[in-house]
């Protein structure tokens, strides 16, 4: 399934993609929670699958053409957005650095989340705004001290993520929070593809285009730390909650390490794609 959060910013409703439409889950059953995160937390994916199975019998008013609605961030209200640094071998190579011995993690604030096609404001006082495409996975169950061999049972699904970064702030400040958490700098979507549709998250092509020109192109098997290991590793010290977003790092080709560097400018359009998941876009304003 492809779960979506659709509607105006701050008023998103949970839905699921059926053919070329979005099935409005709350219009089918007002008893369903009002967010995708809460659907995961209450273990209601089975109920959603049942609705999809009978979608052709539901009133036409329950379905909206997908092109007619805004797709917001796939998860609108996670308790945590955890990101990985230097998790692709080719990204470490372009910096002349070895792969880390353990995961390098940092947080993005929830204010960073934005949806497919949303405008991303160019942050004030920043001169080096950069792009990164990443595979994100979303937790489906509460996870604490999870064994690596059990980790995938806790994952709800996968989405495309962009970690837009103020490189000048990142270089200047010891902590990365401000550099990584500018408003809108974490597009997430266009939907959440459930785990059963992605047998191996480490066998996917991943790419990003800037104004139509390919800037990043790699494969997810170049990750140093895999999805199952990250669930295990993080959950040893921090309880992961349903709806938590973990972004698994970016491959080579980011703007700061190009010669000459290529930073984002107002008017630029980014398109990020991951095989079997989808394509996510944003525009810098």
**Model pLDDT for residues 201-224, shown as the tens digit of each residue:** 999 999 999 999 999 999 999 999
Amino acid 223: pLDDT: 97
Q: Helix or strand or coil: residue 223?
A: strand
Whole-structure pTM value: 0.97
244-256 pLDDT per residue, tens: 999 999 999 999 9
In angstroms, the CA 275 to CA 207 distance is 9
Mean pLDDT of 165-184: 96
Mean pLDDT of 30-37: 96
Residue 77 has pLDDT above 90, yes or no: yes
pLDDT band (50, 70, 90) for residue 168: very high
Residue 268 has pLDDT above 90, yes or no: yes
Percent of the chain clearing pLDDT 90 (strictly above): 95
106-154 pLDDT per residue, tens: 999 999 999 999 999 999 999 999 999 999 999 999 999 999 999 999 9
Domains of the chain: 2-68 (no CATH), 81-284 (3.90.850.10)
Averaged confidence pLDDT in the chain: 97
Q: How far apart are the first and last CA of the chain?
A: 32
Q: Return the number of other C-beta atoms located less than 10 Å from residue 77's C-beta.
A: 14
In angstroms, the CA 70 to CA 66 distance is 8
The token duo for 56 is 């052709």
pLDDT band (50, 70, 90) for residue 93: confident
Q: Which residues of 30-51 are buried (b: 16+ CB within 10 A; e: fewer)?
A: eebebbbbebbbeebbeebeeb
Residue 175 has pLDDT above 90, yes or no: yes
In angstroms, the CA 128 to CA 116 distance is 23
């Amino acid at each position: 399934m492809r779960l979506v959060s659709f509607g105006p910013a701050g008023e998103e409703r949970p839905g699921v993609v059926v053919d070329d439409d979005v099935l409005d889950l709350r219009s089918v059953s007002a008893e369903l929670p009002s967010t995708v995160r809460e659907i995961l937390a209450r273990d209601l994916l089975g109920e959603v699958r049942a609705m999809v199975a009978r979608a052709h019998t539901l009133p036409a008013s329950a379905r909206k053409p997908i092109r007619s609605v805004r797709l917001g961030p796939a998860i609108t209200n996670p308790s945590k957005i955890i990101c990985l640094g230097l998790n692709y071998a080719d990204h470490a190579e372009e910096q002349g650095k070895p792969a880390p011995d353990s995961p390098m993690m940092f947080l993005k604030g929830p204010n960073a989340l934005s949806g497919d096609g949303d405008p991303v404001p160019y942050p004030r006082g920043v001169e080096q705004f950069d792009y990164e495409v990443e595979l994100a996975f979303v937790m489906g169950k509460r996870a604490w001290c999870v064994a690596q061999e059990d980790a995938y049972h806790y994952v709800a699904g996968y989405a495309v993520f962009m970690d837009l970064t103020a490189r000048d702030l990142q270089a200047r400040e010891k902590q990365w929070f401000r550099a990584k958490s500018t408003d809108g700098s974490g597009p997430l979507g266009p939907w959440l593809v459930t785990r059963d549709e992605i047998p191996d998250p480490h066998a996917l092509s991943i790419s990003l285009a800037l104004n139509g020109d390919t800037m990043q192109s790699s494969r997810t098997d170049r990750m140093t730390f895999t999805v199952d290991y990250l669930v295990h590793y993080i959950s040893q010290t921090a309880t992961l909650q349903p709806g938590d977003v973990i972004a698994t790092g970016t491959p080579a080709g980011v703007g700061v390490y190009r010669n000459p560097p290529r930073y984002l400018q107002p008017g630029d359009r980014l398109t990020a794609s991951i095989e079997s998941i989808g394509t996510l876009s944003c525009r810098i304003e």
